[in-house]
Amino acid sequence: MIRFEILVSLVATMILSAILTPFVRKLAFKIGAVDKPNVRRVNKIPMPTMGGLAIFISYTVGTTVLYLMHQFPSRIFFALLGGELIIIATGVIDDIYELKPRQKMLGITLAALEVYFIGGIRMTTFTFPLLGLIHFQWLSLPVTLLWILAITNAVNLIDGLDGLATGVSIISLSTMGIIGLFFLNANMFVSLLIFTLVAAMIGFLPYNFFPARIYLGDTGSLFIGFMTAVFSLFGLKNVTLISVGIPVMILGVPITDTVYAMIRRILNKKPISQADKHHLHHRLMQLGLTHRQTVMVIYGIALIFSFISLLYPISSIWGSVLLTIGLLFGLELFVEAIGLAGDNRQPLLDWIKRTVARLTSKSNH
């Protein structure tokens, strides 16, 4: 009976999101939450943003119903709600007035402090191989804040094409929910929260997929990124290399894009916060893929990361290490091939070419 109630709640959340999105679209036009075309945008006409508001409202209604039915821990539920409201307020203001990066960081930090102090959602220990258990103590706060800021901004950065951030987040969060439910013995309520957010995003995706009728906006990308970071913390309270590796692997697409964006800007001696058109989706389109093809390719990459993350809980330590090394090697080859770190920066490919040329020369002699 409980499972049926949960299924009904998830389906209702998805339907509510689909119903609310057209109303949020009209509201965005009325209050000026509109993305106007410019050199960095792919849209050719003004597009309403703030679509994340529909996701937030439907998610909040869905989780509130589940809270009333199953009595989630009140402290965590209301601490999360407080953090969500701060994030949503930050996103809505940014979609209307365009905040500076520091102002957005302040909003994310305030939301993170809310869940840290009020909800007690934090990293507290780390188990290092050979060294054993180490308590973070006072480092718990900065480490937790850094994690939330990094993941939130990583998801925010990939929101560059129709349906991209929404679809990748659906894949990532679904995987996180499955791992938490079946492999990590996480609390049932965490998985329910995750799947409720997934349901809300599924209801929104048809309006957001190419050709989009509404964008997530920072309202959506910040909210989804923040919730993803917080959900992952439930499995990271007592951190090990494997437990931290799983969410990193699940979020492989936004993390890879963010890391290489930072590397690219450092190598080009530009500010890390300076925007450019060399993100993963930009590079794939510059190589000749269409808008839709680019999104589908990145969905495929996200699915690969998710599949590999499912192997971690059932692998041995050495199996996980070899899996990670193999993935990093393949990932480096891919990003060099598409020029994600910048043009003419292909150290691994150049080394392989030199090695093959040297071996070929020796065999000819």
Instruction: Please give the Cα distance from 149 to 121 (Å, whole number).
Output: 14
pLDDT for residue 108 = 96
Token duo for residue 316: 């041995």
Instruction: Please give the Cα distance from 362 to 359 (Å, whole number).
Output: 5
Nearest to 165 by CA among 245, 46, 280: 280
pLDDT for residue 161 = 86
Nearest to 222 by CA among 68, 112, 352: 112
pLDDT in tens, 262-314: 888 787 777 776 667 778 888 888 888 898 999 999 999 999 988 888 888 78
CA atoms within 13 A of residue 4's CA, in its CB half-sphere: 1
Q: Residue ranges of the domains in the chain?
A: 2-258
CA atoms within 13 A of residue 55's CA, in its CB half-sphere: 39
Residue 159 annotated as lining a ligand binding site: no
Residue 197 makes CB contacts below 8 A (sequence gap 6+) with 55, 59, 173, 224, 227
Question: Cβ(259)–Cβ(272) under 8 Å?
Answer: no
Confidence of residue 131 (pLDDT cuts 50, 70, 90): low
Residue 88 makes CB contacts below 8 A (sequence gap 6+) with 52, 53, 56, 219, 223
Confidence of residue 221 (pLDDT cuts 50, 70, 90): very high
pLDDT at 338 over 80: yes
User: 16-20, 269-273, 357-361: lowest mean pLDDT where?
Assistant: 269-273
Question: Cβ(236)–Cβ(123) under 8 Å?
Answer: yes
| Angstrom distances, CA of residue 221 to CA of 24, 140, 160, 193 | 15, 26, 10, 17
pLDDT in tens, 116-129: 999 888 888 766 65
Predicted TM-score (pTM) of this structure: 0.89
pLDDT in tens, 71-83: 678 888 999 999 9
Q: What are phi and psi of 176, to 5 degrees?
A: -60, -40
Q: Mean pLDDT, the chain, as a whole number?
A: 85
Instruction: Please give the Cα distance from 101 to 81 (Å, whole number).
Output: 24
Instruction: Please give the Cα distance from 95 to 192 (Å, whole number).
Output: 29
Supply the DSSP symbol for 235: T
Question: Which residues, in sequence order, are bridge partners of residue 127?
Answer: 133, 240
Residue 257 annotated as lining a ligand binding site: no
Instruction: Please give the Cα distance from 259 to 256 (Å, whole number).
Output: 5
